[in-house]
Structure 1
């Protein structure tokens, strides 16, 4: 099968238009059209339905586009590995993690990484959906459970627990609960039990809501919960790592907490030699070591 025709087919399928594909490939519309017709003839199949608004893949076209997409991802991976053979750390690194961890823990620390590697280009993808690393939807992932996909290098980085926090201002105005039953006099801020979140967090939310609560405010991510807590709206259920950057927050009902939530860093086996991933991995490890030391000092001060 002609590789050049496949490249042109992929561009047309991706753009949905002969004209737009031609602009991307620096080819005329007629040249692109001829190549597509030749490919269809060689396969004895119609790859596109022609419509006034553009082109739509046929069932056979969808099968071929899936194959060319896989080829494109593999070529991108090969190009990344070739670039990573250089001594310098540069280029794009696609990192995926949850909205909460990405906004509250990772993003505030990235200036230090950019200071080390100013030519790095990080594409931070924050979503609860688990992206497919072997299919190159992302280069590296930080996940709140051990990845189950094959052919991944994975490392447990830290552990998180969900706890209840409030500002001193809110507690001065409303008092401090001494038991879960006291929540009947307070506003609880948390994710909805139906929101996508780690199972340990959802379990604790259900437990808290099984007690009488005066008022609730639910948000679909922890960044929103934190903003509501910082603005003195109530007592919020948050990951315990927020206290390093928001030291004024008070841990309410310290004995109430979720089960331990492991945090894993993972990336495809084929990117084992990637200098960009190694730089990012080592940076995250250094930040976690610093975080652990800070937590240890804080715990010692509390016990003292």
Structure 2
């Protein structure tokens, strides 16, 4: 089967339009249309339903699109490995992690990585969904539990805990709780117990809610919880790694915290020799060590 036709088919299926695919491929709409028609004739099937709003894959088209997508991921992986045989660290590195860790801890530190490797381009994907690394949905993952997927290189980076924090202004206006029962007098800011989050955090929130807490503000990520805390809205459940970058936030009820949450860095076995991955891995490990030293100096542990 002609790979060029498959490449054009994939671009059309991805764009849902002959015109948009042509723009991406630097081909005219008529040239793209001829290639699709030729591919359909060679397969003796219809790959697209034509509608006024664009092109929709037929069942046969879906099957072919799945195959071409898998092929392109393998080509991307091979290209990355070939490029990584060079001495320089350059190109795109797709990193996935949770919204909280990515926005509050990782992103503010990336300037140091770019200073060392200006030709490295990070594609930071912040979501709670666990992306499939062996299928190259991402190159590197930082997750709040040990990855279960096979054929991954994994390294435990650190452990975190969920704790209670408030702003000095809020505590001055509403008083500081002395016992967990005192939380009934305060607004609790946290992730909704049913939202995607680490189980240790969910268990802590559930425990707090059993103490007659009537005022709550729930947010679907820790960045939102932090913004509410520093805006003096209440007492928030937040991961302990925020303290270094937000030193004015005060920990309350220091005896109350979640269980330990391990943080792992993982990447596919096939990228073990990747210089881009190695550069990112070493950078994160160095920042973790600096983070630990800073926490120890602050007495945060």
Settle same-fold status: TM greater than 0.5: yes
User: How many residues get paired?
Assistant: 301
Question: C-alpha distance in 1, partners of 2:172/2:7?
Answer: 66
Question: C-alpha distance in 2, partners of 1:38/1:104?
Answer: 51
Matching residue of 1:263 = 263
Question: C-alpha distance in 1, partners of 2:22/2:233?
Answer: 55
- For the Cα contact (< 8 Å) 1:187–1:214, is it kept in 2? yes
Cα drift, residue 214 of structure 1:
4.3
1:291-302 equivalent positions in 2, closer than 5 A = 291-299=291-299
Matching residue of 2:145 = 145
For the pair 1:93 / 2:101, whether they are aligned, the reply is no
Question: C-alpha distance in 2, partners of 1:69/1:17?
Answer: 17
Q: Relative to structure 1, is the Cα distance of residues 27 and 175 closer, same or farther in structure 2, using a 3 angstrom cutoff?
A: closer
Matching residue of 1:185 = 185
1:208-247 equivalent positions in 2, closer than 5 A = 208-247=208-247
Question: C-alpha distance in 1, partners of 2:26/2:228?
Answer: 51
Cα drift, residue 135 of structure 1:
1.5
Matching residue of 2:121 = 121
Q: Secondary structure at the match of 1:237?
A: strand
Instruction: Provide, for residues 253-272 of structure 1, a one-character-per-residue CA deviation record: whole Å limited to 9, x for no partner.
Output: 11111110000111111111
Matching residue of 2:44 = 44
Q: Secondary structure at the match of 2:243?
A: helix
Instruction: Provide, for residues 4-30 of structure 1, a one-character-per-residue CA deviation record: whole Å limited to 9, x for no partner.
Output: 221121122112222332333233333
Worse-matched range after superposition: 11-20 or 200-209: 11-20
Question: C-alpha distance in 1, partners of 2:288/2:221?
Answer: 22
Task: Spell out structure 1 runs of 4+ moving beyond 6 A.
Answer: none
Worse-matched range after superposition: 277-286 or 47-56: 47-56
Q: TM-score, normalised by structure 2?
A: 0.95
Q: Secondary structure at the match of 2:211?
A: coil
Matching residue of 2:68 = 68
Question: C-alpha distance in 2, partners of 1:20/1:172?
Answer: 58
Matching residue of 1:78 = 78
Matching residue of 1:276 = 276
Matching residue of 1:164 = 164
Cα drift, residue 89 of structure 1:
1.1
Q: Secondary structure at the match of 2:232?
A: coil
For the pair 1:29 / 2:29, whether they are aligned, the reply is yes
Question: C-alpha distance in 1, partners of 2:263/2:182?
Answer: 32
Matching residue of 1:194 = 194
Question: C-alpha distance in 2, partners of 1:293/1:19?
Answer: 55
Question: C-alpha distance in 1, partners of 2:26/2:295?
Answer: 56
Cα drift, residue 288 of structure 1:
0.5
Question: C-alpha distance in 1, partners of 2:72/2:36?
Answer: 18
- For the Cα contact (< 8 Å) 1:183–1:214, is it kept in 2? no
Worse-matched range after superposition: 129-138 or 62-71: 129-138
Structure 1 unaligned blocks of 5 or more: none
Cα drift, residue 194 of structure 1:
1.6
Structure 2 unaligned blocks of 5 or more: none
Cα drift, residue 144 of structure 1:
0.5
Question: C-alpha distance in 2, partners of 1:231/1:15?
Answer: 42
Question: C-alpha distance in 2, partners of 1:191/1:294?
Answer: 27
Instruction: Provide, for residues 134-176 of structure 1, a one-character-per-residue CA deviation record: whole Å limited to 9, x for no partner.
Output: 1211111100011111111111100010000112222222221
Question: C-alpha distance in 1, partners of 2:247/2:92?
Answer: 34
Q: TM-score, normalised by structure 1?
A: 0.94
